[in-house]
Amino acid sequence: MLLLILMLSVMELQAVVMAAGGGSRMMDLTYSMPKPLLPVGNKPLIWYPLNLLEKIGFEEVIVITTKEVHKQMNIDTKMKLEMVCIQEDADMGTANALRHIQQKIKTDILVVSCDLITDVALHEVVDLFRAHDATLSMLMSKTHEFTETVPGQKGKKKTGEQRDFVGVDSSGKRLLFMANEADLDEELVIKKSIMRKHPRMHIKTGLVDAHLYCLKKSVVDFLADNKSITSIRGELIPYLVRKQFSASTNSQKTKDDSEKNQKKTDLKTPDIHISSKDEDLLDLAREKSCWNDHRGDMSDAYHGGKLRCYVHIMEDGMCYRVNTLAAYIEANRLAPKVFSEEFPIHPTAEISEQSMVGADSIIGAACHVSEKSSIKRSTIGASSCIKEKVKITNSIIMNGVTIEEGCNIQGSVICNQAVISRGADIKYCLVGSGQCIEAEGSCFTMGPLINCNIPFLLSVAGCPGEAGSYQLHKALEAAVN
């Protein structure tokens, strides 16, 4: 039927995937491989957000990434990917990236970060955006403790990881307050205007921001005019949350004034509607409706505010942002359970009968596992070669790795093209890409840093903290040379 074939000329949402980030918190992994291409469960990291978008029904996605990623990326997807390449060295903030593609944005956008792995029902986030005519709608999740030991960490470290304070109203949906510990001196300051309108506010700290945002088109236009905002998460979102309660957005009188003062410092309210006459109708409908989002005071629904920010907090389900090594390892453990469709053992992998491959291990394409090897709770990348009598437990082996016979690898991450020679005993280490561990080498609880060849029969003890590892690195180099 003609009706079915003709698609709507009006799009509701455009998807934008931000894949240009450097992965600055896990440089050990990303110095050789760009973050979007890091393998998680033998799929590149960027596959997960793209899969999420494809499953819901998006057909076109704009991917902002670097040339290097663009060259190496080949994702099997039915969607039409529009790649926008930006300079690697530019270190563009996410908001700058949005400004860069402002011309392509025709309607409201859904911004996703490339390192998000989640199985959330996205309609929850988008429904908040649609039903309340919100300016911003975002996704957050309760933090899950990471259970795996991470190479380079001794015990739990919470330094460097600063808390986010998120304030929501009693329904748990409206976002009232957002601040990062880093931005606050000693006290948490909450404006009286917020308390007057929402006397009951729940402040939560154990939440993970999924970096998934639904933004109105007027916000993108606002960004284009306002060049001082560089990062979405760091600057734009707190700005929007604060602006909900600022005096200029709310009072009808000052709306005209603010439109007159178009100085750069006095920013225009980012809720300029398409056609004012039609908006009147919608306001009239709301006025006549017998619904209110709060009760107890004399104000209308939404307190008459035009700018509204909403958040959907996931209680159960998986939501990880792979931006640290710990998250990467956790994701590798859990993502395949939820996402893999094919067999955990790739059909082209050759596994000899006398080897033991555990049920929760994943073997990539064209792998070769010789006899008497045992692989438990691990991920082996494509084209890797594992010789006899190798014992691999709780590890992540990436592509093209060669592990000679008799090795024992535990809790480690071995990056691309590394070679582990015979008899090596590696525990809780991270072997950089292309590196070679000589025969009979033994590494124990070392930081994420084997970036040089380690000669044989060297037994290296671990040391905590990154500073220490750097010194050790230097020491190793000295020892080798």
Partner 1 sequence: MAGTEGITQQELNNSTGETRDETDSRKNDYLQSKVEGKALSKEEKLKLRKEKKQQKKNKKDDKGPAKEEKAKKPVPVMDGQQAQQQRAPPTSPLVTPEAPPTGEKSGKSKVELRADRRARQDVDRTSKQGKKGDRSQLASTAKTKAPPSEPQPVVKRLPEHIQADDPAVLKKVAKKLERQQIPLRSDYGSKVSLFSHLHQYSRKAPLTQQMSIPSTVIHPSIVHLGLQYSQGIIAGSNSRCIALLHAFKQVIRDYATPRNEELSRDLVNKLKPYISFLNQCRPLSASMGNAIKYIKKEISNVSSNIKEEEAKTTLQNCIDKYIEEKIHLAAKAISKSAFEKISDGDVILVYGCSSLVNYILCDAFERGRKFRVIVVDSRPRLEGRETLRRLVKKGLSCTYVLITAVSYMLPEVSKVFLGAHALLANGYVMSRVGASQIALVAKAYNVPVLVCCETYKFCERVQTDSFVSNELDDPDDLIVTRKGKTELQNWQDIPSLRLLNLVYDVTPPDFVDLVITDLGMIPCTSVPVVLRVKNVDQ
Min. distance of Cβ 61 from partner 1 in angstroms?
12
Q: What is the DSSP letter of 91?
A: -
The answer to whether the Cα torsion of 151, 153, 155, 158 is positive or negative is negative
Confirm or reject binding of residue 78 to partner 1 (CB under 8 A): no
User: Which is nearer to partner 1, 253 or 277 (by Cβ)?
Assistant: 277
Min. distance of Cβ 17 from partner 1 in angstroms?
15
Count of residues that bind partner 1 according to CB under 8 A: 40
Confirm or reject binding of residue 338 to partner 1 (CB under 8 A): no
Helices (H), 34-149: 47-56, 67-72, 94-100, 123-131
> Pattern of binders to partner 1 over 4-43, x per CB under 8 A?
x-xxxxxxxxx-----------------------------
Min. distance of Cβ 250 from partner 1 in angstroms?
17
Regarding beta strands 430-431 and 413-414, do their DSSP bridges make them parallel or antiparallel, or are they unpaired? parallel
**Alpha carbon of residue 121 to chain centroid:** 17
Q: What is the DSSP letter of 89?
A: T
Measuring CA to CA, which residue among 389, 385, 357 is closest to residue 369?
A: 385
Confirm or reject binding of residue 289 to partner 1 (CB under 8 A): yes
Confirm or reject binding of residue 131 to partner 1 (CB under 8 A): yes
Residue 158: CB partners within 8 Å, gap ≥ 6?
Answer: none
Confirm or reject binding of residue 272 to partner 1 (CB under 8 A): no
User: Which is nearer to partner 1, 188 or 282 (by Cβ)?
Assistant: 282
User: Which is nearer to partner 1, 12 or 259 (by Cβ)?
Assistant: 12
Confirm or reject binding of residue 252 to partner 1 (CB under 8 A): no
Confirm or reject binding of residue 3 to partner 1 (CB under 8 A): yes
- Which range touches partner 1 (CB under 8 A), out of 127-135, 232-240, 347-355, 408-416? 127-135
Min. distance of Cβ 277 from partner 1 in angstroms?
8
User: Which is nearer to partner 1, 9 or 103 (by Cβ)?
Assistant: 9
The residue type found at 43 is K
Between CA 205 and CA 217 the distance in angstroms is 30
Interface residue with partner 1, options 71, 106, 286, 474 (CB under 8 A): 286
Between CA 169 and CA 191 the distance in angstroms is 14
- Which range touches partner 1 (CB under 8 A), out of 81-89, 187-195, 288-296, 330-338? 288-296
Between CA 323 and CA 113 the distance in angstroms is 10
Measuring CA to CA, which residue among 349, 166, 297, 371 is closest to residue 361?
A: 349
Confirm or reject binding of residue 126 to partner 1 (CB under 8 A): yes
User: Which is nearer to partner 1, 78 or 158 (by Cβ)?
Assistant: 78
Confirm or reject binding of residue 196 to partner 1 (CB under 8 A): no
Min. distance of Cβ 462 from partner 1 in angstroms?
47
User: Restricting to residues 293-332, which ones interact with partner 1 according to CB under 8 A?
Assistant: 295, 298
Which residue, chain included where needed, has tokens 């104000």?
A: 299
Confirm or reject binding of residue 205 to partner 1 (CB under 8 A): no
**Residues in contact with partner 1 by the rule CB under 8 A:** 1-4, 6-14, 56-59, 121-123, 126-127, 130-133, 278, 281-282, 284-292, 295, 298
